[in-house]
Structure 1
Amino acid sequence: MPATPSQQGVDDVSERTQENRSEGQGPATKAGRRLAAQLAAQKAAEAKRRRQAWAGGLAGVAVVAVLITVFVIVGQNDDKPANQAGSTSSASASASGPAPDDAVAPPAPQLPAGADPALGSKPKVAAGKGELKKLAVTSLIKGTGPAVTKGQTITTNYVGVFYKDGKEFDSSWNGGQPASFPIGVGQVIPGWDQALVGVTVGSRVQLDIPGELAYGNDEAAAGGRPTGPLRFVVDVLAAK
């Protein structure tokens, strides 16, 4: 049955209302949503850039702080006094031990007043010439001190070598300490007892001693001591 006019008008209004609702969900509304999404994305990107810039600024400040610390430490080291650096070097050198020359060089002996400075150095002793038959005393340096008397204790530096080839067998210099002993009372070899009484303090003398006035000529009887003729160079440093 066909609709009446009034019903037809109602139907027309209803159709237009539905169209208007469809138009509200049309292209204009979708464009708005896209615009809102773009704005949100821009805001998020801007916030990310701000965070990155802030982080970069903090990193830059940290680098500057590290550089300043390094410069301060270097400046403090440069400002150390020269004597402090020298003492450190001296402390590192002592911890590593003496130099090779210092390790083998004995200390200089205490010389008597007015003595020849040559007594501060170890003499070089050469071999003798020819056959040695008797005790011989040769003055190398004449001391100005009192003469040694029998029974005194004398302090000496000495070098002992074999008369025939000059090979050293004993020396007080190697130990760095002078030797002290009574003289003229049988405490040393006869050649020393006879030759050193009367020598003045501060003297250096060469003693050429036959085997019989030294340790003898028999190696078996000498007990490992040097035998045969011997040569000594003796410095008399004191007599008491």
Structure 2
Amino acid sequence: MSAQLLCRLRSEEHVRRLAGLLVVPLLLLSTAACGSDDKGSDSASMKNGLPAITAGAKFGEKPTLSKGVGDPPKELKVNVISEGDGPVTKKGDALQVNYLGQAWDSTTPFDNSFDRGQPFDLTLGAGGVIKGWDQGLEGQKVGSRIEIGIPPELGYGEAGSPPSIKPNATLVFVVDILKSVTIPKSATGTVVPQEDEKLPKVGTNTDGKAPTLTVPKVAAPTKLVSNYVLESKGEVVKETDTVVVNYVAALWKDGKVFDSTYTTGKPANFPLAQLTLEGLKKGLVGKKVGSRVLIVAPPSEAFGDQEKQGIPKNSTLVFAVDILTKM
């Protein structure tokens, strides 16, 4: 991914988590990334109260939208443009979608994933995207193209998302639902003995609760460690995959946990190609989906001599990661 950043669909809570440190920040907006010269006609007829798709109407095609006419809807509105024949989406599923977003009173999209060639991944109902997305995507079939009209209170509200989204903006999205995967509550598999006393010990519970993570009071390893704690029989993770994970992250120095998805109860979606923490990326690639992995990343494979949101410089980081599924 270039310095031009993905546009702001995710919530600030999501980016405050470790995911915001490891991945190109998804909340930050770049006008260059979000602008587009594609303009839909403002005279095309409306479709069931939402702007018409004026070109690229088929699933998989980049659409163009007309400008909204009259007063925008005051409540969430969803049009099924074409219905797929895949499973019905439900809360807690990991989704992969393509989308184009435009303000009601505009003919210029503020963002779309079609031009990037990179679908967008989310966990439905986890609060990682604006409420209109969580509500509008639930109960739809995979393979469907839908159009969603989102009032301000289910979008970015009074604040908007400057410079691309004005305060109190009603938003319109065309969304292609590419994939939906049920996320398991925990890693499973064969327990792998943890016999090296110089390495952290990770719990082997499979009840969906955070595993214990105990760091020994010895010198930290100087090379990357990536060991199975629970080894499943799932597919091997590739560098091009997006994985859905639960994790506990701690400092080697004092064993203090500085982040955990279990605290919020919301797994994280990591597009591995976008991970900037090399130790975590290398530690996950080649491991099997459904497994629990211990990863120890020395400073050279972590944040080096930079302090990051309270993580001291030259820190060795320890992760207990459940690779729940991949997209």
TM-score by length of 2: 0.37
TM-score by length of 1: 0.49
**Higher RCO (Cα < 8 Å, 6 or more apart):** 1
Higher helix share: 1
